Chains A and B, each alone.
Chain A
Amino acid sequence: MIFLSTRRFDFFGYGILLFLIFFIVLPVLTVFLWAFAEQWFYPAVLPTKWGFRFWSLVLARPDVWSALITSVELSLTVTALSAVICLPAAYAFARMEFPGKSMFMMSFLMANAFPRFALIISIAVLFLSLDLVGTFTGVVIIQLLNTLLLMIWLPTAAFRAVSREMEEAARDVGASAWQVFRYVTLPQAFPTIAAALLMTFVWTFYETEGAWLVGAPRIRTMPLLMMQMINNQLVVQYGAVLSVMLWVPSLAAILMARRIIGGDAFAKGLGG
């Protein structure tokens, strides 16, 4: 510790820790408490009755299942489409020379330079005239746009990290371009690409604003259902149970993905 503190007890560090516990840990913990609370009256500090009653109630609701199916269908479609159109582009950005390359790369980053919701509004206005509002296709397109940057940026970095020497060595012993790609480049880039696919799936699953504006009320995804349950507030536990049920598996997936990618890649990707 060379800069901030030379004191024996790290007041500064514990101060930050305390802040983070109150600001980040406790709100998340609240959701878990509510999910397992059958009864919790203010001002009791902990639920007055614990149990799983609301889990079976949530699981018995048909709207939960239909929203879950819609969300999974949407996320699978978007992730697959995104992979099909983005992975070749990522390979081109990493390994090929073509006119206007840096300009095209910039055009993807420039999508970040727009306020997101204003963009969604302008797309929705266009979709209104194309009769795409309230359709599965409309939601797929708006969510697909959301994934392009991630699905190009991360795989580009992955392809670029593959050693050129190894590729050239394979060429020298007579491998075709396809063989080099299949047996040298792809295996090395695969972990990062898999992580990008996983993140795309999870982010699409939870994408709310695009689905809300373009899909509602006919296409009802899981986040939209949760929004409705939170706003109605008749049964507090429904929102909590849904959150815990859906978020814990996705958290595990994302944590796995992040182990592969590392935080620095995000910051660098956005220009940090």
Chain B
Amino acid sequence: MSATAMSLRNGWRGLAFIAIPVTAIAIFLFYPAALSIIGTLVRPKDGGGYTFSLQSYVFFFTDSYSLTNLGRTLWTTVVTLILLVAVNLPIALYMRFTKGTLATVIQALALFPMFVPGIIICYALIRYMGPNGWLQSLLNLVGFHHYASPHLTPWGPVIGLIWDGMPLTLLILISGLSNISDASIEAARDVGAGRLRILVSIITPEITHSLLIVSALNFLGIFGQALMPFMLGPTNPEMMGPFMLRTFASVRDPLQASTQATITFLICSLAGVAYVRSLARRPQEDRK
């Protein structure tokens, strides 16, 4: 068998091996997404045939309740993202530049949420930070009596989403920080650079890529969440996740639910494109 025939045969076999999962992704992910987007634009006419219509979008963008929900979702996303980075960057820096028992304990604790399923996180947070929860009891004990529970306020989902997003954010940031060599920092110290200077000039440029991935993934993660906002957040206004759920399951309006999903797709496509582009720019050996 010649080399080209061999590699051709191998090529077909490779394609056959990946055919089923690729087809599954195409049929059950890309096709429904495309279908629901098209379904919101092209509607069946009364007398047969199809007609182009933007009516469901006009409804969404003139309905103050829908718009408030979208605004609430954006607010939650931005606030959660900022807090996630603000909380995790110091922890990641600490873990990158410190060795010892304390660093190990911190790592174990900070990655722990990864092992807790979403529904149990919700239960734990409700019992802990909810009204008359354990946190309030503990605060009472030390003489603090003005605790206002974030449960069922806009801050409820923010706290839940930080819990949920923490391990992944931390892992990606640590992975980014591991590219920085100890030598380059020591060299900078030797020539008299202070901590702030090292952070701005050496560390920040190295982790820009990680920060981008973290922001994009968390943006998508927060926008695409239904459980946390449903369990921990207020019902009016509500985030897009529970809003879509209610429109689909309780109001039984699949068209409006598709419209909400399409608008969510469009807003998230910004983060999605950023994510895919940064993946494509990764070093070759990772992708192959």
- Residues on A lying within 8 angstroms of B by beta carbon are 1-5, 10, 12-14, 16-17, 19-21, 23-28, 30-31, 33-34, 42-45, 85-86, 88-89, 91-93, 96-102, 104-126, 128, 141-142, 144-145, 148, 152, 206, 208-209, 212-213, 216, 223, 226-227, 230-231, 236, 239-240, 243, 247, 250-251, 254-255, 263-264, 266-268, 270-272
Contact = CB atoms under 8 A, between A and B. Distances in A.
A72 to B, nearest CB: 15
Nearest to A93: B18
Instruction: Report the 10 A-B pairs with minimum CB-CB distance, sorted nearest first.
Output: A115-B224, A98-B14, A272-B172, A113-B272, A206-B117, A96-B14, A92-B17, A116-B224, A122-B36, A267-B175
Nearest to B244: A121
Interface string B124-140: 11111100111111101
Interface in B93-114: 93-94, 97-99, 102-103, 105-106, 109-113
A202 to B, nearest CB: 8
28 contacts: A4-B98, A12-B90, A24-B113, A27-B127, A34-B127, A85-B20, A88-B17, A105-B287, A109-B276, A112-B217, A112-B275, A113-B271, A114-B265, A115-B223, A115-B268, A118-B265, A119-B29, A119-B33, A124-B248, A124-B254, A125-B261, A208-B117, A209-B226, A216-B249, A243-B124, A266-B168, A267-B174, A272-B175
Contacts of A270: 168, 172, 213, 217
Contacts of A28: 112, 116, 124
A206 B288 contact: no
Given A24-B163, A251-B115, A14 B249 contact: no
A33 B123 CA distance: 13
B232 to A, nearest CB: 11
Interface residues of B, number: 118
B116 A2 contact: no
B98 A44 contact: no
Interface in B224-274: 224-227, 231, 240-241, 244-245, 248-249, 254, 257-258, 260-262, 264-265, 268, 271-273
Most buried by B among A98, A100, A141, A226: A98
B17 A272 contact: no
Nearest to B118: A208
B115 A240 contact: no
A100 B18 CA distance: 11
Given A107-B25, A121-B257, A99 B15 contact: yes
Contacts of B123: 31, 226, 230, 239-240, 243
Given A27-B129, A44-B137, A89-B22, 5 more contacts: A27-B163, A216-B249, A230-B119, A266-B171, A267-B174
Contacts of B261: 118-119, 121-122, 125
Interface SS of B by simple majority? helix
B143 to A, nearest CB: 12
B200 interface: no
Interface stretch (B5-13, B53-61, B62-70): B5-13
B24 A118 contact: no
A116 B171 CA distance: 21
B220 A112 contact: yes
Nearest to A122: B36
Given A3-B185, A85-B24, A111-B25, A118 B102 contact: no
Contacts of A109: 276, 279
